[in-house]
Structures are given as structure tokens and as C-alpha cells.
Amino acid sequence: MHEHPTGGTSVNSSVAHPARVYNAWLGGRDNYPADQEAAELAAAANPRIVPAVRANRAFLGRAVRELSGTAGIRQFLDIGTGIPTADNTHEVAQRVDPGARVVYVDNDPIVLAHARALLVSTPQGATDYVEADVRDVDRILAVARQTLDLSRPVGLMLVAILQYVPDTDDPHAIARELLDALAPGSHLVLSHPAADIGAEEVAASMRVYNERAAERAGATPRTHAEVTRFFDGTDLLDPGVVELPRWRPGPDDDSAPGRLPMWCGVGRRP
């Protein structure tokens, strides 16, 4: 494991952190009262949050299966890993190819502690973990190169992460810089809270969350057009940028659960 702290690895349990709030929404126990309060109040302001979080997890699995199976991707860079749960990226990918290699990135030391114990690769493949912020592009790529061959296609996972990058830090440029460092044939898998689905509820839940969030962990929802811009320079896979359950649902996926306030898509770098 490679540890790259961004200002130390001490845990601040007095403010909400994205990975732990997400864990609370999924019904996990790896969170603190501040996270639970933020999760409960945000979900009360927007009851569609919890279904969206679960649909987001299902989208990640479908996208990784698609890239592993159809696109032949055998290595993944998963930024904004979150606290490990069922069907993590390497587990899905290594079911298709036990030799698949995955590098996880998150900036919560609690995620690091769980990653050590739970993100265990098959003997044929490899997993690694770097503690870093998505803004630390050079650091992320430097560590990724120790496990991944960036001259070959990579699945870049930016699943429910770029909402934590404000416009002043130019999240579109961060996504472009990451993708530009990867080989042609690489794919971008991205989901993002929507500013234009249930806008009042989304704004209310974000306001509640941001009041309780750690420094630099506030969230910004974005419109369909703004999310689509993340895929500039890629060939969008069908059906394009859509609501979570609409992206290539399987027979066991609920294709009509009501509108969920997140956009998602997958694009291929030509």
C-alpha cells in the first residue's frame, strides 16, 4: 500500500466526510454521529438520495462489467473509492479477468484503514491504494504507474466524486488532465448529482450537507449540460449521459424507480 497523506491522516469525527456519509446512506456502520446527522438531514430534505446512492453503486458495477467484458479493459483507476462494500471495482473486474489490476484513491484515512483489510486482490491481479485528493493529479498518476501500465487502456472511475470539486478548482480540467494521461481506448466512467432533477430538493439537501461537511468537502450539483462537458473529447457510449437506472439496465435492475437526481455516462477516449 502506498500512503500519500494530504495534510495528515488524523480522523476528524466532528464534521461530516463524503465517504462516511455515503456509508451511512448505504446503511453501513463505518461512520460517526456527525456523518449520521448529515446523512439523515440531507435524506430528509431529499428522500431520493438513498435510492440514488444505491442506484449509483449498481451503475458502477454495470459499467465495470461492460468495460471488463465488452471493451476488454483490464486495469482501473478508481478515484473517490469510498469505504469498501460489496462488489468493489476490483471484485467486479476480477470476476471477468482474475489478472485485472486496480488502483484506488480516496482522501479519508478511514477508507485507507478499510482498504488495507478489504481491498484484497486475486493472486493473479493487483490492487493498490493511494490516499490523495482528486485534485492531486500528478501524485495520483505517479502512484498509479507503479501498478498500472498507462500505455494501455485504463478504466478511469470518477463515480460520485467531482461534485466535491467546486467550479473555482475547475473539475472539468481535472477530469481532462486525468484522461489525457491515459492511453487511447481508455474509458471514463462518471456519475454526478444533478442540479436539474428535483432542483429544489437537491439544493436543500446539499445545503444541509454543506453546513456539516469538512473543509473542502462541500458538494455542488451540476446540470446535464455541465456533466456532459466532462466527456468532451470522448466518444460517448450509448445511451449517453442519462439518469442512473437508464444506463444499460440489466434484467434485475429497476428501470423505472422514479426520477433520481444523478447523471451518469461512459465515454471512450479515441
- Where do the domains of the chain lie? 52-198+219-249+258-269
> How many degrees, rounded to 5, is the angle at CA 28 between CA 101 and CA 207?
100
Residue 8 has pLDDT above 50, yes or no: no
- Give the pLDDT of residue 28: 74
Please state which architecture CATH assigns to domain 52-198+219-249+258-269. Answer: 3-Layer(aba) Sandwich (3.40)
pLDDT at 168: 95
Per-residue pLDDT band for 57 (boundaries 50, 70, 90) equals confident
- Band (pLDDT 50/70/90 cuts) for residue 47 is confident
**139 has a pLDDT exceeding 60:** yes
Q: Grid coordinates in use for 70?
A: 465488452
Residue 105's pLDDT band, with cuts at 50, 70 and 90, is very high
Return the amino acid letter for 39.
Answer: A
State what percent of residues in the chain have pLDDT above 70.
Answer: 83
Distance between CA 100 and CA 86 in Å, rounded? 17
29 vs 97: which has the higher pLDDT: 97
Q: Report the predicted TM-score, pTM, of the whole model to 2 decimal places.
A: 0.84
Across the chain, where does the E strand assignment appear? 75-79, 101-106, 126-131, 155-159, 187-193, 235-236, 242-243, 262-268
pLDDT at position 253: 63
Q: Considering only CA atoms, which of 21, 47, 68, 16 is closest in space to residue 261?
A: 47
Predicted confidence (pLDDT) per residue in 176-223, tens digit: 999 999 999 999 999 999 988 876 776 666 676 666 655 565 688 899
State percent of the chain over pLDDT 90. 48
Q: Torsions phi, psi of 268, nearest 5?
A: -105, 130
